[in-house]
Structure 1
Amino acid sequence: MPLTNPWLTGPAPDAVLPREQLEERILNLLSSHNLAVVATVMPDGSPAATPVRYSSLGFEIFWTSWNASAKSRNLRRDPRVSAGIVAPLVGQASSRGLQVFGTARTLERDDPQAGDYWEAMRWQSDHVERGLGLDAPPTDPLTIITPHRMLYTEHWLRRSGFCPRQTWRPLAEGASPIHQT
């Protein structure tokens, strides 16, 4: 039987992708998708995973949510959060996704820190879908995940000799922009 992707055979390479290239791939994934599964911590310590339609600004993802929702209540009690974003999967060669590990914060609509996020938020399509006017933006708060670590997976990287799983962490203040793993 012929192999369609012979470069997938054998052990995976372990080379680290240069930081600039990794960041470009992460930003591409964040910009070309809008569905994440967000995991929060329930009061009993168990996980709760919820799909959300997100927007992104840099490496942060954010969405609107009612303060009374289970995920919002969970995040007020414990801001630790993870999110998974995945591209459509056809086979191993197309495997591409991102796990975001970070801290969530919620900003009310009138919070001055929310301005840039609201400008980047794609709320108009949601309003049209729900029959709401475009003259009044949502009043729901925004929940923002600031990542402290991201695990990017792309098996196509193997073709170029790079490990299919790459770790991103924010640069320490004053650090060189050379890749970190």
Structure 2
Amino acid sequence: MRLTNPWLAGPAPTKRLEFGVLSERILNLLSSQNMCVLATAGEDGPLATPVRYYHLDFTLLFTAAAGSPKMRNLAVDPRVSVGVFAPLVGQASSRGAQVFGRAEVLMPEDRGFAPYWEAYRWQSDHVERGRSLEEPPVGPLVAIAAEKIVYTEHWLRRTGHAPRQVWRARQ
């Protein structure tokens, strides 16, 4: 049988990407998508929530109602896992990332709020909902600085690289 992508057959290569190249590929994924699945854990157990995000380098940003289940869970345990993925057509197009970190809930009066708020595109929400652009939202902003990212891209097999790569934040 003739294979469309013969490089997908057989065992996966194990070669690692250089840190800078891997970082670029991850940033490309984060920049080309806007939805993720946020996994939290709280008193009622685990919760996986679809969330629209923005990013500033390797920090994911989203807003949420202060009393939502995900925000209640973050108050109990700020450790999170976030899944970001591109649409899947077949194995050759498989591309995604598992982002691990700690969620930091920031309010406008908090010192770390302003730099992240500049990267958050709240204006499109306001236009869509008919709200004034003169009145930005005042709710919490959640920032998740990636500590570890497990990146998967099966296309990497074409160049002899492992389809699963691990990125760690440099301290």
TM-score (normalised: structure 1): 0.92
- The residue aligned with 2:10 is 10
Residue ranges of structure 2 left out of the alignment (5+ in a row): none
The equivalences for 1:13-24 within 5 A come to 13-24=13-24
Note if 1:153 corresponds to 2:152: yes
Q: What is the SS of the residue equivalent to 2:112?
A: helix
Quote how far apart the aligned CAs of 1:7 are.
0.4
- The residue aligned with 2:95 is 96
Greater Cα shift, 51-60 or 128-137 = 128-137
Greater Cα shift, 11-20 or 110-119 = 110-119
CA distance in 1, matches of 2:158, 2:51: 32
Quote how far apart the aligned CAs of 1:113 are.
1.2
Residue ranges of structure 1 left out of the alignment (5+ in a row): 173-181
Where has structure 1 moved over 6 Å in runs of 4 or more?
none
Quote how far apart the aligned CAs of 1:6 are.
0.5
- The residue aligned with 1:57 is 56
Deviations 1:13-53 (A, max 9, x none): 00001000000000111111110100000204x21000111
CA distance in 2, matches of 1:109, 1:138: 10
The equivalences for 1:42-121 within 5 A come to 42-44=42-44, 46-121=45-120
- The residue aligned with 2:39 is 39
Greater Cα shift, 99-108 or 133-142 = 133-142
Q: What is the SS of the residue equivalent to 1:127?
A: helix
CA distance in 2, matches of 1:154, 1:87: 10
State percent identity of aligned pairs. 58
Note if 1:169 corresponds to 2:168: yes
Q: How many residues align?
A: 171
CA distance in 2, matches of 1:153, 1:94: 10
TM-score (normalised: structure 2): 0.97
CA distance in 2, matches of 1:88, 1:12: 22
CA distance in 2, matches of 1:2, 1:132: 56
Q: What is the SS of the residue equivalent to 2:133?
A: coil
Quote how far apart the aligned CAs of 1:67 are.
1.3
Q: Kindly provide the amino acid, as one letter, of the partner of residue 170 in structure 2.
A: L
Deviations 1:131-168 (A, max 9, x none): 11111111111011122211000000000000000001
Quote how far apart the aligned CAs of 1:112 are.
2.8
